[in-house]
């Protein structure tokens, strides 16, 4: 059976391409749809359907653009109420894609409209299930996201629906079916996802904690809800965009692809409330940057941290990138609904510096320097997640998780120096840039973060495996 997983690691997302006899379907596409169109063109195939497993929270789907560009029909499962033209299928309804059959299996729980698609080949043999966020490899979808959009839902109600969907709709299926989930490790849509992105259903029945046959519904609900952290703040906003619609990506790109000279860039920055977002690597940003800019590196968990730290999804954004990565930055912002980039610094930071304009920098020290000067009286702030901090940390440091930084600015000392670190340097540079933008400059950042500090003799708490903290 010709089914291809198209995996995008930066947001741990999997879309799927199905083709048979010149007809194709795309499942859960990303915002930039041209690669799917090109893939179908290479097979001389027409995209007939865009199947959505649910209204996604962690990214803005490309369903509208793909349908507009190809004429494909958008398909949702039962109970979906999209604010645009789409086919809302019935449970067990079947669709033909060439010689293949796609069967709708309504599996509410992650969201109420969540749907699994059963794939059957040209010989009538069931091949696999595209499960969306209903079933991951090693995990299942968290049931606490849709309640932020639909008021009368609770996470326990959704978890109960998910238990029933797994037991009555998924687990009775054949063990040799291939499970094709929407996400892998790194996604915030689950808590124990494997780095593997496909598996057989039979193996998942043996190894996935949520599919244990002896679990009661109450045990399932309690275990599923234990250890969930607050979802990223942009999730409900992405859900609404996916339900209601959004600007075409071509429109977003046209608005953002404006090369601005340093003079023009400064003028726009002064005349608007635009946020200056510098997407260069943290170690490069530290050496010099435009004062007031925020660093979120493209080569880290860019989309997630944009969504966590930029609370207004309508925020206008001015970009500073490495040369040639402007379009990539705009697309990756749009993937999570940040559609209001209004230009970028032509020539990047070098053009700004070459004109002799004011710059700022972040002072950094090595982990060895940190160990040599370690003093329990020197304030040190660890911006990792609470679970990372609880697993192991330097004694007498303060944990201020990065996504809570703006709530704790008053805790950073105004007099004397303090020290900042995270796990490897990516998040602490985001924190450093935010502190600098707030007028806080009396700190140093530890290069390599806890990964390097752990190699020194600085006193640390006993290590606890994070999985035992859930």
pLDDT, tens only, 23-43: 999 999 999 999 999 999 999
Q: Is residue 114 within 8 Å of 164, Cβ to Cβ?
A: no
Strand 317-320 vs strand 294-295: parallel, antiparallel, or unpaired?
A: unpaired
Which of the residue ranges 1-15, 106-120, 220-234, 360-374 would you say has the lowest mean pLDDT?
Answer: 220-234
Mean pLDDT computed over 276-301: 97
- Whether 257 shows a pLDDT value over 80: the answer reads yes
- Rounded Cα distance, 255 and 248, in Å: 11
Distance of CA 40 to the CA centre of its chain: 26
pLDDT, averaged across the chain: 94
Spatial separation of the C-alpha atoms in residues 188 and 441, rounded to whole Å? 32
Q: What is the pLDDT of residue 149?
A: 53
**What is the pLDDT, as a whole number, of residue 150?**
59
**Among all chains, which residue has been given the structure tokens 């530890």?**
446
Residue 292: what are its φ and ψ, rounded to 5°?
90, -5
CATH architecture of the domain with residue range 247-354: 3-Layer(aba) Sandwich (3.40)
Tokens of 108: 């509410």
Report the topology of domain 3-238. Answer: Metallo-beta-lactamase; Chain A (3.60.15)
Look at residue 470 and tell me whether its pLDDT is greater than 80: no
Distances (CA, A) of 49 to 13, 273, 418: 19, 41, 56
Place of tokens 């806890």: 450
From 197, 241, 228, select the one nearest 110 (Cα to Cα): 228
Asked if residues 29 and 131 have their Cβ atoms less than 8 Å apart, the reply is: no
Q: Region 387-412: what's the mean pLDDT?
A: 94
Q: Sorting pLDDT into bands at 50, 70 and 90, what band is 465?
A: low
Q: Hey, what CATH class is 364-469 in?
A: alpha beta
The model carries a pTM of 0.92
pLDDT at res. 231? 84
Task: Provide the sign of the torsion angle of the four alpha carbons 435, 437, 438, 444, taken in this order.
Answer: positive
Residue 387, by phi and psi: left (phi above 0), alpha (psi -120 to 50) or beta? Answer: alpha
The sheet that has 46-51: what strands, in order across it?
Answer: 3-8, 13-20, 23-27, 46-51, 73-76, 87-88
Q: Do residues 97 and 23 touch, judged by C-beta distance below 8 A?
A: yes
pLDDT digits (tens, 9 = 90+) for 146-175: 655 555 789 999 999 999 999 999 999 999
**Do the domains 364-469 and 247-354 match in fold?**
yes
- Report how far residue 413's alpha carbon sits from residue 333's, in angstroms, rounded to the nearest whole number: 33
Cβ neighbours of residue 140 closer than 8 Å, sequence gap 6 or more: 109, 110, 133, 134, 162, 166, 190, 208, 210, 224
- Enter the tokens of residue 381: 């702030």
Residue 222 CB neighbour total at 10 angstroms: 13
Task: Give 380's Cβ-side CA count (13 Å radius).
Answer: 25
465, with CB counted inside 10 A (0-12, 13-18, 19+), is exposed
Share of the chain above pLDDT 90, in %: 88
* pLDDT tens string 123-153: 999 999 999 999 999 999 999 886 555 557 8
Distance CA 424, CA 405 (A): 18
| In the chain, where the domains are located | 3-238, 247-354, 364-469
Residues 117, 361: Cα–Cα separation, whole Å:
51
Q: pLDDT confidence of 467, banded at 50, 70, 90? A: low
* CA angle, residues 55, 35, 190, in degrees to nearest 5: 35
């Amino acid at each position: 059976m010709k089914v291809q997983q198209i995996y995008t690691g930066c947001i741990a997302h999997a879309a799927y391409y199905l083709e048979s006899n010149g007809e194709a379907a795309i499942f859960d596409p990303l915002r930039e749809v041209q690669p799917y169109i090109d893939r179908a063109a290479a097979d001389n195939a027409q995209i007939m359907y865009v199947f959505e497993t649910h209204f996604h929270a962690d990214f803005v789907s490309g369903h509208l653009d793909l349908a507009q560009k190809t004429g494909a029909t958008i398909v949702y499962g039962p109970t979906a109420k999209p604010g645009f033209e789409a086919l809302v299928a019935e449970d067990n309804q079947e669709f033909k894609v060439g010689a293949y059959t796609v069967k709708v299996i309504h599996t509410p729980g992650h969201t109420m409209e969540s749907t699994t698609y059963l794939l059957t080949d040209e010989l009538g043999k069931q091949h696999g299930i595209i499960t969306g966020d209903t079933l991951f490899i090693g995990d299942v979808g968290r049931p606490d996201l849709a309640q932020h959009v639909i008021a009368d839902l609770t996470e326990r109600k959704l978890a109960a629906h998910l238990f029933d969907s797994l037991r009555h709709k998924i687990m009775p299926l054949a063990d040799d079916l291939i499970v094709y989930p929407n996400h892998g490790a790194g996604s915030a849509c689950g808590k124990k996802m494997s780095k593997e992105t496909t598996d057989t259903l039979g193996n998942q029945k043996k190894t996935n904690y949520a599919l244990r046959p002896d679990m009661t519904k109450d045990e399932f609900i309690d275990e599923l809800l234990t250890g969930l952290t607050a979802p990223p703040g942009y999730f409900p906003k992405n859900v609404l965009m996916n339900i209601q619609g959004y600007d075409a990506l071509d429109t977003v790109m046209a608005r953002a692809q404006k090369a601005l000279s340093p003079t023009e860039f400064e003028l726009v920055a002064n005349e608007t409330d635009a946020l200056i977002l510098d997407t260069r690597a943290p170690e490069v940003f530290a050496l010099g940057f435009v004062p007031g800019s925020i660093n979120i590196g493209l080569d880290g968990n860019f989309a997630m941290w944009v969504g966590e730290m930029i609370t207004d999804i309508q925020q206008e954004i001015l970009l500073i990138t490495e040369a040639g990565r402007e379009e990539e930055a705009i697309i990756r912002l749009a993937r999570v609904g940040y559609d209001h980039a209004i230009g970028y610094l032509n020539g990047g930071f070098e053009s700004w510096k070459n004109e002799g304009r004011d710059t700022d920098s972040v002072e950094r020290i090595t982990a060895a320097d940190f160990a040599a000067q370690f003093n329990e009286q020197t304030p040190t702030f660890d911006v990792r997640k609470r679970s990372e901090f609880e697993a192991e940390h330097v004694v007498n440091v303060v944990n201020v998780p990065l996504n809570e930084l703006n709530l704790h600015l008053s805790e950073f000392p105004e007099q004397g120096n303090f020290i900042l670190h995270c796990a490897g340097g990516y998040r602490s540079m985001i924190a450093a840039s935010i502190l600098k933008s707030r007028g806080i400059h009396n700190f140093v950042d530890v290069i390599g973060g806890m990964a390097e500090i752990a190699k020194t003799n600085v006193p640390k708490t006993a290590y606890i495996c994070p999985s035992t903290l859930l």
